[in-house]
Amino acid sequence: MSQQTIEKKQNRIIAVLSIIIPLAVAGLFTIRIPGVERLGFLPPIYATTNAITSVLLVFAVIQIKKGNKVVHEKAIKAAMILSVLFLLLYVAYHATADATKFGDLNSNGILDASEKAAVGATAYFYYFLLATHILLSIVVIPFVLVTYVRAANGKFEQHKKIAKYTFPLWLYVAATGVVVYLMISPYYPVS
């Protein structure tokens, strides 16, 4: 099989994954696992995976700037594994719990006037971060996959060209995941 044929096949796989992953996650939000108690211990774990991913991404960039390709590659692979782990834990949590509303101090699922007043304009910041985090988490999928495949195929110049966009997108998604968790965590129902 020629290199061009292999790359076309890889690009098709990337395109399919870039569509299927967000659709599957969106679809899984409509599913509740009957008889399974809310997995309330998962959010701090998946937020930690995002935090470690952020550190690994910065570390990987530092390593490649130093010319250490082997460590760079290991850090990126670890960040990819953690991102997949995040996604699995996130889906597992949301398959067992209703969405938490920002500002819902009494965890009744309804924001009354006093709760809205208590969070004030902070809610706008939270929802902006949440919306951009979700949108960019969809956008970053093909960027990460294409960037990785280009490096795996030894196309380092093409890899570098796309990596300059992939890195800030992926870092933003990972870092805002932590911030979103920290902002919403006071409103999680007590188990």
Cβ atoms of 86 and 49 within 8 Å: the answer is yes
Nearest to 39 by CA among 98, 93, 95, 100: 93
Token representation of residue 149: 């495949």
Task: Give the pLDDT confidence of 85-118 residue by residue, as tens digits.
Answer: 999 999 999 888 888 899 998 888 888 999 899 9
- The domain limits of the chain are 3-39+95-187
What single-letter DSSP state applies at residue 106?
T
**pTM higher than the cut 0.75:** yes
Task: Give the pLDDT confidence of 181-190 residue by residue, as tens digits.
Answer: 999 999 988 7
